[in-house]
Structure 1
């Protein structure tokens, strides 16, 4: 396992180092994504261990976590932005890059389609239908690991904002004073909030809380509660009856997932 982690991490670091003509702004964004990828890999491995997956499954979980955002780096250099809507699907770009590179040859990976399927589905609103059992498991795991690290980033950001906006997290939207009706309807129905219904920064935060409805494994919920990630988002919201009701529903759902 250690050799696998070392080889794949060294390859990843070397790939990142190949981008050496970045602006100051790009360099900062580049580092953020690189560090995020390393953390997601560690989280994915930890979840796989807690789920008592086989060594081979744990290796794949780590690798998918490490490589899931590989397309972000080329995306940033070519388009100077992380917006898939205004550039390319970064998951698809990651798979394209991996087909060009030799990492899988070095690691002697045979089931490459498993890794590709997990990466392709990590950033979609819903997992595509028709995946094999293993493909579905790994797609679910990377989605959980990715969200857990984003929750960590959100907690730090909302607690130490100091008036400075991070538009990759708030989407350059007005703060808003109330939750939009369609957003509240979705989350109170136990659904993930759709991006198309977002109208304010307040809606974005409610959408982030709704991610719990897309989480899949008990260790994920335990990690979420232990680190108070939902609480961090909730504490950044103005309080009213609707927001309190939404948070209560989210908390009950989370606790039930841990108990089940």
Structure 2
């Protein structure tokens, strides 16, 4: 790891550790998000190497990944939730923190801008059409790196019955046996499910299955299948024809992306 990368990691860890007086649940969620950020950074570096990016773009990819969720810690302390819909946009929090702390003050403006744009777009439903190719590259790269690790965190939580309930991962939504009609319609139409349409824990999981429509690079699909993320989510769902149709739709889509 280069000196600059060590500095960025050290700043990130120091910032996270600066929060005190946390409840045991908050401390657990801090640990989850801290470890998540470091794994997303590993994913981003792997994708950057696969794409044969130059050193400058690798630096942007690394930095955006390290700090993409730094706003989560303030969000959890202020609102006790990771749900942006009922609290605040954690991506905007992240950019505000980086600017306020001057972490990238010695970088040129273009590279700072690329980091900020990638972070701002990593949690949005879709990427705006009117952005540059370089902005698009970094937005896609971070979104893939982030989604892949979120799927790891969630599938570990869903499939390990010894895990205590964690309302920040389930959004404190009610359970259900049927998918909300609009959620089902969106995913079967090959579209990402919007958080605003989610009404239950079941809808949350269907939304997560729909993320395959927003994965951009072949090695990302390789990671998706090698870790059996789709299969693990499906294994926790009620078994009926409607849910099987959704699972089959997203799995076939992902298989085609992997093969082509």
TM bin (shorter chain): over 0.9
| Partner SS state of residue 98, structure 1 | helix
Name the structure 2 match of 1:125: 125
- CA offset at residue 235 of structure 1? 0.9
Q: Tell me if the contact between 1:175 and 1:202 (Cα under 8 Å) persists in the aligned partners.
A: yes
Name the structure 2 match of 1:81: 81
**Matches of 2:256 and 2:2 in 1, distance apart?**
35
**Matches of 1:81 and 1:234 in 2, distance apart?**
25
> After alignment, is 198-207 or 1-10 more displaced?
1-10
Structure 1 residues 117-155: Cα deviation after superposition (integer angstroms, max 9, x where no partner): 110011111123322111111111111111101110111
Name the structure 1 match of 2:231: 231
Q: 1:24 to 1:109 in 2, by over 3 A?
A: farther
Aligned length: 259
- CA offset at residue 58 of structure 1? 1.6
1:200 equivalenced with 2:200 (yes/no): yes
Question: RMSD over aligned Cα, in angstroms?
Answer: 1.8
User: TM-score, structure 1 length as denominator?
Assistant: 0.92
Name the structure 2 match of 1:56: 56
- CA offset at residue 199 of structure 1? 2.4
Name the structure 1 match of 2:137: 137
1:242 equivalenced with 2:249 (yes/no): no
**Matches of 2:80 and 2:200 in 1, distance apart?**
24
Q: 1:163 to 1:96 in 2, by over 3 A?
A: closer
Q: 1:153 to 1:163 in 2, by over 3 A?
A: closer
Q: 1:194 to 1:88 in 2, by over 3 A?
A: closer
Q: Tell me if the contact between 1:30 and 1:73 (Cα under 8 Å) persists in the aligned partners.
A: yes
User: TM-score, structure 2 length as denominator?
Assistant: 0.92
- CA offset at residue 109 of structure 1? 4.6
**Matches of 2:164 and 2:15 in 1, distance apart?**
31
Q: Tell me if the contact between 2:37 and 2:66 (Cα under 8 Å) persists in the aligned partners.
A: yes
Q: Tell me if the contact between 1:67 and 1:94 (Cα under 8 Å) persists in the aligned partners.
A: yes
**Matches of 1:167 and 1:65 in 2, distance apart?**
25
Name the structure 2 match of 1:22: 22
Q: 1:244 to 1:84 in 2, by over 3 A?
A: closer
Q: Runs of 5+ in structure 1 lacking a partner?
A: none
Q: Runs of 5+ in structure 2 lacking a partner?
A: none
Q: Tell me if the contact between 1:95 and 1:119 (Cα under 8 Å) persists in the aligned partners.
A: yes
